Amino acid sequence: MLRRTVTLLAAVAVTALIPSAPARAVTSGDLLQAERRGADWPMYGRTYGSTRYSPLGQIDRRSVHELRPVWTQSLGTLDGLESTPLVADGAMYVSSAWAHVFAYDARNGRRLWHFAPQYPQGFGNSICCGPVHRGVALREDLLYVATLDAQLVALDRRTGAVRWRRPIGDWQQGVVTNSAPLVLGDRVVVGVSGGEFGVRGYIKAFHADYGYELWTTYTIPGPGEPGHETWGSEAWRTGGGPTWQTGSYDAALGLLYWGVGNPSPWLGDLRPGDNKWTNSLLAIDPGDGAIRWGFQYTPHDSWDYDGNNAIVLADFRLNGAPVKAALQANRNGYFYAVDRVSGRFLYAEPMIEGINWAHGIDPATGRPQVNEAMRPHFGGGEVKVIVPSMSGGANWFPMAYNPHTQVAFIPVNHWGVGMRPLEADEVIHEPGRSFVGAESWTYRIDANIGHLKAFDVARRKWLWDFASPQPLHAGVLATAGGLVFTGDQLGFFMALDQRSGEVLWRYQTGSGINASPVTYSVDGEQYIAVLSGYGGNLTHFFRGPRGGTLQVFRLSNLSPAEAGAGEWGPEENPHVVQPYPESP
């Protein structure tokens, strides 16, 4: 019924409620200079380095207690919201579940237009973790969205009208697209999902103006390609390696960095070898799509430890020598630093306690020292409790990095998983059907599952740890005001002190938060925005409060009674940090 309702609602492709004012084109040069253009949030990670750090500091440690909601919009769904809003020239663009796209006046929330994609009959069975969507991309007068049925659509950013539409893949074969594209000059690069359906993963580039395909790079090497020998069978044809998180880009080096997900099926018995380039970081030439180098986090993965998570580009001194690093908080429980020039392993640090799928990481090569007792096999019994859970560690939700203090703010989860393999003859690949080979259960192993941690990447030192009783599945924003913003599954949107992890402000949004906050400035006023909408992968683990709203905040001189106070009553002080309520 829900799917049918969504299809009917999607019959109208674009609803322009209020004509939009002409918007200044966001050029490729603007995107390259995004670090200096602090007023806007023009791409998924704000900059090509994906730091999610903003130079805006009007909202700081002293003024954050005056933060108030100034406008809210319902996005008309109770499915999970995971999008990062984009802001340019006073307009905000945000996607919701099922890849609906909305444009708003960023000052007051006035809706400018709404794009509702139409889906073919029968679509929806190949979606792994709900109809979530993570964002859009901007260039010139176009807005790019990858719809869930693997279509790249270019919209007129003033009206929402479709300018062109191109296929990325075949949803009937299990290919789904839900990530934000990345614009590089005159091309739009996008990855795919489908690791749980036996696709052979790839990345595609399209011409930004006309939409024709420029190149396709498969993450699993075919016959005659370097790394093909690491499969040892025909399993490479259905071996997974999805690319469903947005990449990063170093313009000076001319390299595109993209994370690659799990092999398929989850259990490794049918695919002997390291299975390159699943669970890896790839450095790609954006001109022709050629893979320049790869680093594999988890060779021959048997635990669904994707390597998709956001890649942060950071320059710092390590052991007295300057390095250009690619940083990733990985599902397997380790935080990695890799030389982004050469792919050389720099270090890995455990993010949680009790990691037991591996005895450690080789300090010279970065190869894990696997604990084979924790590896499930076909026909075997349940293996438990494997730490971390197959959901991480760290999952897709992006960390933030302050380049001035060289501190990363990382959302991680401390839990375990049990895996019960099927019999080998039960694991048969059928296009568009689940191809995982095991059942799984999640185990709570600590009073607090969720942790937001601060890590000094140059000194390799953990600075503080903010704990939550439920998983943290929201992205992180760091600002020049010394603040870190994130949300939790209890519905709280909060600001923490970057130096100590102390919660300085929080607001009850009414639903668990899975999305990533952003900040922007219009007419000299700094705003903070976040989507509140529980759903997606978390629905497999526990029940949380549901909603579907976009909430925007800025500083105000209003009294608590005039502004409202979230979940607090009128006689309570909304600025006093309350202890966490009991876990639901």
Which residues are known catalytic residues? 304
- Per-residue CA distances from 287 to 138, 160, 427 (Å): 19, 29, 39
Q: Could you tell me the two tokens for 492? A: 């709280």
Distance between CA atoms of residues 312 and 143, nearest Å: 24
Helix (H) or strand (E) holding 462: strand 461-468
How deeply is 288 buried, as exposed, middle or buried, from its count of CB atoms within 10 A (0-12, 13-18, 19+)?
exposed
How deeply is 464 buried, as exposed, middle or buried, from its count of CB atoms within 10 A (0-12, 13-18, 19+)?
middle
Residue pair 236/228 in contact by the 8 Å Cβ criterion: yes
Dihedral sign from CA coordinates of 148, 152, 156, 161: negative
How deeply is 66 buried, as exposed, middle or buried, from its count of CB atoms within 10 A (0-12, 13-18, 19+)?
middle
At residue 27's C-alpha, the angle toward residues 398 and 145, to 5°, is: 50
CA neighbor of 422 nearest in space, from 204, 267, 197: 267
Helix (H) or strand (E) holding 6: helix 2-9
- Per-residue CA distances from 537 to 131, 197, 202, 388, 397 (Å): 10, 16, 22, 16, 12
Distance between CA atoms of residues 194 and 302, nearest Å: 17
Dihedral sign from CA coordinates of 206, 314, 296, 515: negative
CA neighbor of 510 nearest in space, from 478, 464, 537, 547: 547
Residue pair 574/566 in contact by the 8 Å Cβ criterion: yes
**SS3 state of residue 374:** helix
- Per-residue CA distances from 304 to 300, 437, 570 (Å): 10, 11, 47
**What count of other Cβ atoms lies within 10 Å of the Cβ of residue 249?**
27
Bridge-based pairing state of the strands 111-115 and 14-15: antiparallel
